[in-house]
Amino acid sequence: MGGSEEQYVKDAFEKNWIAPLGANVDEFENQVSRYTGAEAACAVSSGTGAIHLALDVLGVQRGDVVFCSTLTFVASANPILYMGATPVFIDSEMDSWNMSPAALEKALKFHKMTGRLPKAVIVVNLYGQSARMERIMEICNRYGVPVVEDAAESLGATYRGRASGTFGRIGIFSFNGNKIITTSGGGMIISDDELLVKKALKKATQAKESAIHYQHRTIGYNYRLSNICAGIGRGQMEVLDERIKKKREIFEQYVEGLCDISAVDFMPEIEGSFHTRWLSTLTIDPDKTIISPRDVIRHLSAHNIEARPVWKPMHMQPLFDRCAYFEEAEDHSKYLFENGLCLPSDTKMSEEDVERVIRLFRELLPVGKITA
């Protein structure tokens, strides 16, 4: 916690505003709007719920096609199934690890020829870095397909001077417990289209019509954020920039401590972007060493330190094994999964903590090339 959260939560108790509305909800939405420059925001119970609402208000229906980044957590893709639509997954580019504009255009050309253009494209901004949104938006606008920008992991990142989440028709954030700031569980929809956000708000509150009784014409959901969780979010927003600074310092310490190992390549920060380094991520080149990311994970685990693989791509998941997948040239997402590693990145880590991880990492991967 940053320090102010308890006071905002206490205020909710004192005013007896516990339900999913109140001053904390309103101000939390205002904070996110001001921070990102978006015209409107709607606080909801999760990032997954935010994506679900986004697809709903964009008119996605059963039988439609929706494109989605393959290198992501399953929460990016599950809402496509909620709507009864069919996911089509798009490969990553190596220099951003995010959706490949080349693979996206390949998929759009194919689907235009078949007469089944997607109803939406979900672009994920991975691990705290924006995708190459200007190019992606140019392609999607040319085909008339709206973009949902899944910025769940990238609050605070920018690309070409604009905040992550503000390029697409709708942007979403997550405030799950593992994110750079948290409301315990929660999410946010942002957009410059205020009417679209109002539509999402109505859907999030069971799609109640304006009447003295409970009147419903369309399907709705119970997705609003509580005033208590929003109070936590208000306090967290006050320390967001401090958290980003710390995340980047941790990443830079890893770079300094491991950059002389030829097999290690850190996730790049693409030109014109500001990467929050939500997670410090790297790849281990299998052509330069027999040591794999799984070996490092096991070695760190033996010393009570948790590290994890990069997200397993959706096109490799059993849930989506019948879904189409468009590669850039070769399967970059598969390579990143098989050779990628997420190192401990918590903002409570001290320099000594990070140095310990570096030291243990180097026990397995010393300087130079290691071959069988």
Q: Known catalytic residues?
A: 179
Which two structure tokens, joined as six digits, stand for 92? 């990553």
Give CA torsion, residues 346, 31, 173, 62, to 10 deg. Answer: 160
3-state SS of the chain is CCCCHHHHHHHHHHCCCCCCCCHHHHHHHHHHHHHHCCCEEEEECCHHHHHHHHHHHCCCCCCCEEEEECCCCHHHCHHHHHCCCEEEEECECCCCCCECHHHHHHHHHHHHHCCCCCCEEEEECHHHCCCCHHHHHHHHHHHCCCEEEECCCCCCCEECCEECCCCCCEEEEECCCCCCCCCCCCEEEEECCHHHHHHHHHHHECCECCCCCCCECCCCCECECCHHHHHHHHHHHCCHHHHHHHHHHHHHHHHHHHCCCCCEEECCCCCCEECCCCCEEEEECCCCCCCCHHHHHHHHHCCCCCCEECCCCHHHCHHHCCCEEECCCCCHHHHHHHHEEEECCCCCCCHHHHHHHHHHHHHHCCCCCCCC
Strands 264-266 and 187-191: unpaired
